[in-house]
Amino acid sequence: MSGIVLYKSKYGATKQYAGWIAGETGFDCMEIDKAKMEDIKQYDTIIFGGGVYASGISGLSFLKKNISQFEGKKVVVFCVGASPYDEKAFDELVARNMKDSLADLPCFYCRGAFDMDAMTFVDRNLCRMLQKSIAKKNPEEWEVWEKALMEAGNGKCDWTDKSFIDQILDIL
Ligand SMILES: Cc1cc2nc3c(=O)[nH]c(=O)nc-3n(C[C@H](O)[C@H](O)[C@H](O)COP(=O)(O)O)c2cc1C
């Protein structure tokens, strides 16, 4: 079985998971922006991973655009966010992102990292603005991702854990 792991990662956690999956499967591994369709088409299995930013899974547009060309192949998606896994929140994330032609694809969650210092100016400001608005709400009503963002504060957190890839390896 031949396969490739394609990823879109801004701060490295998704890249880390893609590398772990490639290491365990022997699949090739490539940043999605560098991948060419004629090369990807050669593989039987395509695993796609994208970071979660403002409730959106990055890089999915590539998959949406090309999904018809992947007919007959095994396509698996994973996404990487700062929130701890929560079934309801994950179902909402999947419903929001895995629509139409992507709706039948298996999608998994892996927990990533959060480091304000490593962020771009725009992302850092966005996260600070989010933290300010979350702080105004009742903490008992915070969503899981809001809680994680508040707990991370200005600090550096790394929740990446290789065992998250077991669920993906299991369905291959
Ligand atoms: C601007 C911004 C928005 C984010 N929004 C979310 C979010 O909605 N949900 C979540 O779980 N994590 C969110 N995160 C955290 C990222 O998903 C986390 O840092 C993840 O590790 C990113 O993947 P990467 O390291 O491959 O870039 C956000 C991070 C940034 C910088």
Ligand 1 pocket test target in 5, 53, 86 with most atoms within 8 Å of CB: 53
- Each residue of 1-27: pLDDT tens digit? 899 999 999 999 999 999 999 999 999
Residue 128 within any structural domain of the chain? no
Classify residue 147: in a domain, yes or no.
no
Judge whether 143 lies within some domain: no
Residue 8 CA: nearest ligand 1 atom is: 26
In the three-class reduction of DSSP (H, G, I as helix; E, B as strand; rest coil), residue 54 is classed as coil
pLDDT at 54 over 90: no
Residues 71-83: pLDDT tens digits?
Answer: 999 999 999 999 9
Listed residue (74, 80, 20) closest to 50, CA to CA: 80
* Domain CATH number, residue 41: 3.40.50.360
Q: Which atom of ligand 1 is nearest to the CA of 55?
A: 8
Q: Flag whether 132 is in a domain.
A: no
Specify the number of domains making up the chain.
1
Identify whether 88 is part of a domain.
yes
**Spatial separation of the C-alpha atoms in residues 12 and 1, rounded to whole Å:** 27
The per-residue pLDDT for 154 is: 86
Contact in structure between 80 and 113 (CB atoms under 8 Å):
no
Q: What is the pLDDT of residue 155?
A: 84
Domain of 22, in residue numbers: 3-115+157-170
Asked if residue 130 lies in contact with residue 123, where contact means CB atoms within 8 angstroms, the answer is no
- Look at residue 164 and tell me if it is in a domain: yes
149 within a domain of the structure (yes/no): no
Q: Is the CB of 10 under 6 A from ligand 1?
A: yes
- Cβ-count burial 108-123 (b if 16+ within 10 Å, e if not): bbbbbbbbbeebeeee
Question: What tens digit of pLDDT does each residue of 82-112 get?
Answer: 999 999 999 999 999 999 999 999 999 999 9
- 148, part of any domain: no
Read off the pLDDT band of 127 (50, 70, 90).
very high
Which ligand 1 atom sits nearest the alpha carbon of residue 114?
Answer: 19
